[in-house]
Structure 1
């Protein structure tokens, strides 16, 4: 038996690569797919997971479109790189919104007479609560609606709620989301002073420094740029992608590493989407709450800003600050606070159910790494790439475990946690660096895998095989 010459091996390799290049443009038959089909399918799914599914906080009143778009792109990148952070963020906001609704309803129940006496004509938005004040004064402007949204609400009223019913019936979880995402702006002498957290707002209402804002759930939802139809389309795109991959698994058809990564992001996005289901989406302007108390009462600050530069290795910790903040370690970093006219990009939550939030966030990280383990036996070009994929998948799955143990240890210390703050932060930094390096390795390996895809990856699912035949 003769061994093939070096030239023949090169020719066959060139022919294989040439076949792959040809498959980039179009499929040769109805039973195959092109590389562009794979890229477009994953691209649309990732777009639904990032740009469409993420519900950002309300921007600052004087921010331009460039700043708002840049922040949206930053959140989009975070959702692509670390979707478990989005789950942690959504979980913290969900529990915080529910707690805020309960606190305000309890307050309204204790003072029903005062709540009803403060009721104003909502359509007029009087001095008690003015919304959407344009820069430089002028008449309040109504929330903008796209033509698509108006048409959808006309055809399917149940998707946008009945606009005729505007009676204020207390706070719902939608109110809680709206408050935590920066929905109430405090104005002193007609000048924006700070964004109020629900705790700040309730404190000032209780002491009589501001009036109780009166806004119905329908009005809050009316400010949202999302509706049931847009959410349904995004979920259908995610579901269709998952069904396709499952069908390929049943028919023993290989999938690409990009599809595995997209599946992991889509699985985690569905969870965060469910937690944000009642959160208003892309609200442009907050409601204005006017200050009527004394200057001495205005001493409560909102939305802590960590001063990372004062710590050793501040730039490094600034890189992993989203991990530390969302997991509940921001109090260990700095005790400094400052008033803000905007909720931080990954902020807008209180300290509620800390252990449950940490558990959900770390568990989602384990799931994210576990899904990448589906490529455990993938046919890589080299043995080194194969081992790197396995190590990176395990690194993503194990880093949340290390972080969870670190946070549990910190919470078990109680008041003595300040003595070990640098140790806890160091362990959190190490676990975050393990995650980041593993994630970068997976992304690089995904890009390299397109140089040589396994046989059968361009074959499509034969859907008729799932139809029972008599």
Structure 2
């Protein structure tokens, strides 16, 4: 619906018509003159672009970079389709607003899968067992892919140590859990992932070509999309072996004598029938109860207090999610699912985890540096105010990740010299200061990202002719326009 609304707005505004050009350049309403003119004054572009084509291409690439490239953990049993969709939309927004956190999550899961694979080979693999544990198994474990059943009833998620303890005691058989078995749970195969990779890679290639051609310019929306596309390539590289949007775990039945496992979730028909019966029989009563709830609870002073606390609750929730990205949450021994942004972290991984955090924030700095290309004359702004807002926001999203890196550098220095009391005191002070500044800088970073997205769409109303001229070889390969 949002896509259709945007397309209808630009269509109704008749924005698909190219802006008039002259030999002296394009004249904007505020008097700012664009130095971009058609590539040749005596030659007409035989295949010009329209604003709608630019929007559609960018939205398709953003979708590939934020929805298709992100591989979520399993939602858990008895979760409605509406909640699953809302959760996926939330993760997509995280990938658009703070893609470096998704990169950190993917990096941590990739390294966790690698450590689990090496630990199985060196510690748990049995001499006569033909079973082979791979990175794909490690990813599937981290996303909550193994569920323990006892007496045909679900008990809990199996995390790494518990699964290996049962495996060593001969109480579970992993021989039938192959990569093909795990791939059956995935909603996308290698071919589907290659389609998204072609979309993002081809878009980046065109953006580089337009930026290099002196007769062509990039729109702000293409610049933002290119930055997201670059990060999506990293997500794909880290999550290539992780099943995409898998929802059905492997059920392992545990018995006192012997072992076996079922390779699908058992659905209890009585529970489903009971739910549907309640919905049908109590539909009218639920409506009446909802009316009474509105009258008794919403139309009073407490409801206004709750509304006033909504911004606080939103900020608290956002900070909690960021904390979950940076510091992994332990798996609840009685839970039927792993945390939304869970990744495996053993005791030996603490040093590597800090390095991964530094790496992800370096990626964030590169992400912001791509937006700083808006300082170039290849990006045209219709007012100086918009140009100033863009530059300030791009500097914020480039500089703040460097501040966050300094905190983890201090942590690494403190761990490297644990016996130096003076150095430890100095590092503690610097670490506290950088931690406090980092905490207060998070809202500014999010606001700057939102401003860049808004400006990118707003500036499509003033697209110069150089942005509408097309690349001659733009339609050579398959591409979503």
Q: Same fold (TM over 0.5)?
A: yes
1:288 to 251, 258, 272: 251
How many residues were matched structurally? 370
| Alignment deviations for residues 177-220 of structure 1 (CA, whole Å, 9 cap, x no partner) | 11111111122333222212223322343466x42433112222
Separation of aligned partners in 1, 2:146 and 2:157: 6
Measure the CA separation in 2 of the matches of 1:217 and 1:240. 30
Q: Give the SS at the match of 2:247.
A: coil
Provide the residue aligned with 2:345 in structure 1. 350
Q: Quick one: structure 1 residues 413 and 356, their matched pair in 2 at CA, closer, same or farther if it must change by over 3 Å?
A: closer
**Structure 2: how far apart are the matches of 1:107 and 1:442?**
50
Q: CA, structure 1 residues 400+183, in 2 after alignment: closer, same or farther (shift >3 Å)?
A: same
Q: How does 1:407-422 map to 2 (within 5 A)?
A: 407-413=408-414
Indicate if the aligned counterparts of 1:185 and 1:289 stay in contact, CA closer than 8 A. yes
What RMSD over aligned residues (CA atoms) do the two structures have, in Å? 3.2
Structure 1 residues 186 and 422, CA gap change in structure 2 (3 angstroms): farther
**Which digits, 9 at most, give the CA deviation of each residue in 1:251-278, with x for residues without a partner?**
2211111000000000000011011111
Q: 1:447 aligns with which of 452, 457, 462?
A: 457
Matched-pair contact (CA < 8 Å) for 2:358–2:408:
no
SS of the aligned residue for 1:24 comes to coil
Question: In 1, are the aligned partners of 2:18 and 2:468 still within 8 Å (CA)?
Answer: no
Deviates further, 211-220 or 397-406:
211-220
**Among 424, 427, 436, the residue aligned to 2:437:** 427
Partner of 2:70: 54
**Equivalent of 2:222 in 259, 274, 294:** 259
Q: Where does residue 193 of structure 2 map in the other structure? A: 231
Structure 1 residues 314 and 462: CA distance shift in structure 2, 3 A: closer
Unaligned runs of 5+ in 1: 1-17, 117-167, 294-312
Partner of 2:446: 436
1:344-372 Cα shifts (integer Å, max 9, x gaps) = 22223325321321122111101110000
Counterparts of 2:338 and 2:459, CA distance in 1? 40
Greater shift in the superposed pair: 218-227 or 79-88:
218-227
| 2:145 paired residue number | 183
State how 1:94-113 maps to structure 2 within 5 Å.
94-109=110-125, 111-113=126-128
* Residue 366 (structure 1) aligns with: 365
TM-score (norm 1): 0.71
Report the equivalent of 1:325: 324
Return closer, same or farther for 1:457/1:82 CA change in 2, 3 Å cut-off: same
Whole-Å Cα distance in 2 between the matches of residues 205 and 25 of structure 1?
67
CA contact (8 A) 1:406 1:424 kept: yes
Report the Cα offset of residue 282 of structure 1: 2.0
- Asked if the contact 1:108/1:170 (under 8 Å) is kept, the reply is no
Structure 2 residue corresponding to 1:76, chosen from 92, 105, 109 = 92
Counterpart of 2:160 in structure 1 is 198
Q: What SS does structure 1 have at the residue aligned with 2:466? A: coil
Matched-pair contact (CA < 8 Å) for 1:182–1:343: yes
Could you report, residue by residue, the CA deviation over 1:280-319 in whole angstroms, capped at 9, with x for unpaired residues? Answer: 11222111223447xxxxxxxxxxxxxxxxxxx8863431
Contact persistence 2:147–2:157 (CA under 8 A): yes
For residue 243 of structure 1, what is the aligned residue in structure 2?
A: 205
Contact 1:248 1:255 in 2 (8 A): yes
Cα distance in 2 for partners of 1:454, 1:316 equals 39
**CA separation in 2, counterparts of 1:219 and 1:267?**
31
- The answer on whether the counterparts of 2:116 and 2:138 sit within 8 Å (CA) in structure 1 is yes
CA contact (8 A) 2:45 2:469 kept: no
Where do 5+ consecutive residues of structure 2 fail to align?
1-9, 20-43, 257-311, 419-423, 477-481
Does 1:32 find its partner at 2:48? Answer: yes
Task: From 466, 471, 479, give the equivalent of 1:461.
Answer: 471
Q: Which of 148, 160, 174 is matched with 1:213 structurally?
A: 174
Does the 8 A contact of 1:101 with 1:173 survive in 2?
Answer: yes
Instruction: Compute the displacement of 1:21 (Å).
Output: 4.3
Q: Does 1:64 align with 2:80?
A: yes
Deviation at 1:19, TM superposition (A): 12
Structure-2 separation of matches of 1:412 and 1:388: 37
